[in-house]
Structure 1
Amino acid sequence: MPNDNLLNKYQIFSTVEECDIAIVPVDIGYFYTNKNQGKLDNFINKALALGKKVWVYSGGDYGKSLESSVHTFRMSGFDSKMNQQTFIMPSFIGDPYVKLSKNFHTIAKLEQPQIGFVGHASNSLSKKIKEISMYLNYNFKRWTKKTATDYYNFYPSSIKRFQLLAILKKNPDLKTNFIFRNKYRAGIKSLQQKNKTTIEFLENIEKNPYTFCLRGAGNFSVRFYETLAMGRIPFVIDTDFRLPLSDTINWKKHCVIAKEQEMVDTIIDFHQNISPEDFELMQINNQKLWKEYLEREAYFLKIHSVFKLKTE
């Protein structure tokens, strides 16, 4: 159905000449993998020659930013390597509390930081071999031009999660509530299993004020957005990521961002220095942030404001 809120901000035109922004409505990877890059380039060059802004979308775990004259929307990437015309999109998720049939409530501050996690984390030899195999296979596809994305160094995310979570779990100054899965989404094979593991995942976020978030294959975490949507505090490891609307949102007010080597000290220091009142207020503001900035409709309404401000 038509979205009245978005239609108040955006209108669709059939020709480039009529529009303010020319949008490529499909993943640009389609043009590269189908050896049709010329069609993409012609569309972009025509729009730029007419003085139009150009938006493109680069999908998947990795993504690729085009030249700085084009605005690229993508899920992930490395902040230090992306140009300023690259916009990070949130993972667009539904309201988790609808799935749980519950309402949001805050968690009072306890003496120790209480951290939750449910997910794919394994340190087995077979997992290491699989991670290496997947990495080599993907880079072979890049090398043979079967896919076109930025280059990523090898990062065995499930192994890194296991190692970092093990450090947190052993620390007596932290209270942890971790459930390790040996396979992605616990290797579910039925709808019943999917529902069961999803509920376990969401209930873990609900019951713990902090949730551990670390990137996956791409340099982003869907769990990060799910944590915000539930009004909890993401405890996220810095992997040179860029967060959505970073020129608008002061992310230090909504999550705990830690360097890998300093993660224990960072979470303890943060927890000790936040007041009980601000601790609960942060949870309220996080759910509000998701609803007003990171939900699908809200995000594109904010993007409209960003581009409107840039033209004034």
Structure 2
Amino acid sequence: MLKIYTDQLFLTPENRRCVFPLLFDLCYTKNHRLLERYELMTQMEEAEVVIVPLDISEYFQKKQQKWLFDYLDKAIALHKKVWVYTAGDYGLTLNKAVYTFRLSGFNSKFDANTFILPSFIEDPYATIQNQFQPISKEALPKIGFVGHASNSWTKWIKEILVFLLHNYKRLTKVLFTDYQAFYPSSIKRYKYLSLLQKNNQIETDFIFRKQYRAGVKTAQDKQKTTQDFFKNIAANPYTFCLRGAGNYSVRFYETLAMGRIPFVIDTDFRLPLEGIVDWEAHCIRASDTNICEALIAFHQKTTAENFEKMQVNNRNLWLQLLNRESYFITLSTLFNEKI
């Protein structure tokens, strides 16, 4: 078992939404499989790993930076491995000798102690009440997408305003996040999807939304758009994935969970468990200069047998490593080996 310590005074009902994800499973939901892997100690000195209990931006928002840095300095002075969690689309980087767990950011700016968390999603097949089956290979690559993609002037203006507003809040210390350059994700999606649509060597199955989740308001409409989204992934062997506001894609993990093949545009992202997972065996990474060529070349060189096997492997990857419970089981093994 991995011996961990955290300040449990922060583990209140009010902090459920911003707690370190592992602590949520250990202390709120009492996940039995994880409790067999992690032992929560009462003293920092007894632990092998010290965990900051909440998303670190919470301590900045609540003007508790002194508590945070005193806590970190004590753990580091005791030569403990320290885990911190930074949530949201941008995240926040600390200049400390810690292991940082985050959803997004830029691989070229990360150190070796930065760990990417998968987007912890429910099994999509439960939503559409279906079971996984691989799709057979056909002559042309067939790629799907349902989502927010637009190239209108109003969308350009909105994206710029959102970017400027976020940076104003960041500079005025209303928000505490890393800086990120302007990236109009919905406009980029439209551009790349249009290139795929125009290529006669590719079959496309795209539904463009002018707003996020089609701007639905009612629970009934939300359920319908969710069904449409997952049915599209299930119906197509490839799904187009591109980052959103943050430099990561939830759709990427949803595609893996459904046993399909993510076709992802590389925007200098890092994926979870790099060095453990051979990501080249589970997805197609394309640059913004070879989008169509990358998909066509991959499809042509892949045998029918390997095409179906890759889908099976992707489903198993999500089940065995990338859902919430499995990820932290893998992490316990990894850190036990390091200690």
Percent identity over paired residues = 54
Q: Does 1:295 align with 2:323?
A: yes
Conserved 8 A contact 1:68-1:83: no
CA distance in 2, matches of 1:288, 1:195: 26
Conserved 8 A contact 1:68-1:85: no
RMSD: 0.9
| Structure 1 letter corresponding to 2:337 | L
Instruction: Report the secondary structure of 1:246's partner residue.
Output: coil
| Structure 1 letter corresponding to 2:30 | P
Instruction: Report the secondary structure of 2:41's partner residue.
Output: coil
| Structure 1 letter corresponding to 2:61 | T
What are the ranges of 5 or more consecutive residues in structure 1 without an aligned counterpart? Answer: none
Instruction: Report the secondary structure of 1:43's partner residue.
Output: helix
Give the CA deviation at 1:3.
1.7
Q: For 1:166, which of 182, 191, 194 is the aligned residue?
A: 194
Give the CA deviation at 1:16.
1.3
Give the CA deviation at 1:65.
2.7
Partner of 2:22: none
| Structure 1 letter corresponding to 2:68 | L
Give the CA deviation at 1:279.
0.1
Give the CA deviation at 1:68.
5.3
Conserved 8 A contact 1:31-1:37: yes
Partner of 2:113: 85
Q: TM-score when scaled to structure 2? A: 0.90
Partner of 1:27: 55
Q: For 1:243, which of 262, 268, 271 is the aligned residue?
A: 271
CA distance in 2, matches of 1:297, 1:128: 39
CA distance in 2, matches of 1:27, 1:88: 14
Partner of 2:220: 192
Give the CA deviation at 1:92.
0.2
Partner of 1:286: 314
CA distance in 2, matches of 1:65, 1:106: 40
Q: TM-score when scaled to structure 1? A: 0.98
The one-character-per-residue Cα deviations of 1:134-190 (angstroms, maximum 9, x if unpaired) are 000000111112222221110000010011101110110100000000000110101
**Any residues of structure 2 matched to 1:233-272 within 5 Å, and which?**
233-272=261-300
Q: Does 1:103 align with 2:131?
A: yes
Partner of 2:248: 220
Instruction: Report the secondary structure of 1:137's partner residue.
Output: helix
What are the ranges of 5 or more consecutive residues in structure 2 without an aligned counterpart? Answer: 1-28
- After the TM superposition, which segments of 4 or more aligned residues of structure 1 sit over 3 Å from their partners? none
CA distance in 2, matches of 1:198, 1:46: 46
Partner of 2:204: 176
CA distance in 1, matches of 2:186, 2:314: 26
Partner of 1:72: 100
